[in-house]
Amino acid sequence: MKNAFIKNHSRKLTEGHIDRRQFITSALAVGVTLPTALSLANSAEAATPKKGGKLRLGYGYGSTTDSLDPGTSENGMTQGIHKCYGNLLFDTENTGELAGDLVESYEGSNGAKTWVLDLRRGVEFHNGKTLDADDVIATINYHRGEASKSAAKGLLTSISDIRKGSRNQVIFDLSSGNGDFPYLLSDYHLVIMQAKGGKVDPLAGMGTGPYVLKSFEPGVKGTFVKNKNYWRSDRGHFDEVEIMTILDTTARQNAVMNGEVDAINEVDPKIVNLMRRNPGIEILQTTGTKHYTFPMRLDTEPFGNYDLRMALKLSVKRQELVDKILLGFGALGNDIPVNSAMPFHNDTITQREYDPERAAFHYKKSGHSGTIPLNASDAAFPGAVDAAQLIAASAKDAGINIEVIREPKDGYWSNVWNKKGWCACYWGGRPTPDWMFKAAYTKETEWNDTAWRGTKASKRFNELVVAAASETDQATRKKQYFEAQQLLHDDGGVILPMFANYIMAHSKKLAHEPHVAANWEMDGNRLAERWWFA
């Protein structure tokens, strides 16, 4: 009990709810000695966020085709920008728990078909307008509209109606129950925008977030100033924030080591030990659900051929990729986007191994001959081109000729990914199978980058995902998700050889809370909101 009391009061001191004298007095009252109380107070005060300064972040993502439209955000850099100026209805805390962001309280009923969300009161947009239910309804309708190109559209297909309960209450009616519905509303595309006449302007950059957008240059940078009226007094500590694109890995790493930026993402595992020698730099890695993939589009020849897909899956030396590309900063993948960090992970599926003899059998059965192009760029992930070349080398033993095409970094996500037949890709992962499947594998989603839709297995997969979402019996739900993963593993178009840790580097001048989020890089891409200068 004493430990819990001290932990609670340390948090209160850190957050400024009590002062040093009150903390020490309380600690002595529960039996803590004076030297220990003084030491605990010093530690808590050292973790107290300080206001001010200009934060500079360097991302290994970004393109001249980027947009302020949250619905089209497709990389970490734009996600970081949206989370600077905006808020979601829900988000994942740095402890890994789902929490209300703009939602103060919520309740599901009617077999998880009806969800009532009560919004926080007194939240303002940067132009002074108070947030209300109309803003939420207009935002969600923008993403789920018939002509919508939003990447979140596939997540929202179960919404049959969205209506206003009161000025600060929104009611969702679903066509089928979904106990994970609040998780779906934490998708980073669903930044709440301001309504005007029932519509939103997705390019306005107007939000309720910790920083006010000053400028945005696609593929270059976004600049911000502190929102003095932010509804969270314990967040948004910097006076200014600059988020910039630095695509070149070496340039990005040099920038943080030379003090040109304060933090970077996507540190190349090859130089982690070198960067650790810099006394002013801290390497921080988190393990979550991020994974690297090589999606094959079934609507592009020759990948609609089951035997050809199987031949390529069997031609990959997964452990070699983990060893040589991740240098151990990750784990084996098994061609399914659900790992042991997620609920309902199917651990009964046999790990797919490199098998050139079986690969040759399926390749011959496919009837294909000639070169197969594999498009890659290190814009996808550090070492993506090298990984593609390793796949090409291992496939040769099965008699498969793969031509690796090195694509430009700029425009990769607009011109290559989700367009060309076979390419390199990364996914941040999602906390639940339902969300992950609806983000990338169900028939409705814009981001079904394997175009896995027309096969018998894919149709059964879609049925299972819908059924599992509303299933209340956990044993039945487990069976449904297990079968869905098996179908994807056997018939799907994704080669998923590895799960990768997030590796970032930051100046030791920066400070943060004890927990750092692992749902996305850069502390859930909320570093600008959560961190401060020590």
Q: What is the 3-state secondary structure (H, E, C) of 251-269?
A: HHHHHHHCCCCCEECCCCH
Work out the average pLDDT over 216-236. Answer: 97
Q: Are residues 366 and 262 in the same domain?
A: no
The pTM (predicted TM-score) of the whole model is 0.83
- Any domain includes 133: yes
Work out the average pLDDT over 127-147. Answer: 97
Structure tokens, 115: 């969800």
Q: Are residues 272 and 320 in the same domain?
A: no
Residue with tokens 């997030």: 502
Which pLDDT tens digit goes with each residue over 412-454?
Answer: 999 999 999 999 999 998 999 999 999 999 999 999 999 999 9
Give how many domains the chain has, as a whole number.
Answer: 4
Q: Are residues 295 and 185 in the same domain?
A: no
Q: Are residues 451 and 375 in the same domain?
A: yes
Q: Are residues 189 and 315 in the same domain?
A: no
CA 253 to chain CA centroid, Å, is: 22
* H helix or E strand, kind and range, residue 243: strand 240-245
* Predicted pLDDT at 16: 62
* Predicted pLDDT at 46: 59
Q: Which of 374, 358, 371, 375 is nearest to 311 (CA)?
A: 358
* H helix or E strand, kind and range, residue 90: strand 90-92
CB 101 within 8 Å of CB 90:
yes
- Any domain includes 65: no
Q: Are residues 360 and 460 in the same domain?
A: yes
Which pLDDT tens digit goes with each residue over 11-63?
Answer: 676 656 677 777 788 778 777 777 677 767 666 655 689 999 999 999 999 99
CATH number at residue 119: 3.90.76.10
DSSP symbols for 169-194: EEEEEESS--TTHHHHTT-TT-----
* H helix or E strand, kind and range, residue 144: helix 133-144
Strand, coil or helix: 78 = helix
Structure tokens, 283: 């390497």
- Any domain includes 244: yes
CB 117 within 8 Å of CB 169:
yes
Q: Are residues 195 and 306 in the same domain?
A: no
* Predicted pLDDT at 27: 76
CB 354 within 8 Å of CB 315:
yes
Q: Which range marks the domain in which residue 8 is found?
A: 2-46
DSSP-derived letter for residue 201 is -
CB 339 within 8 Å of CB 345:
yes
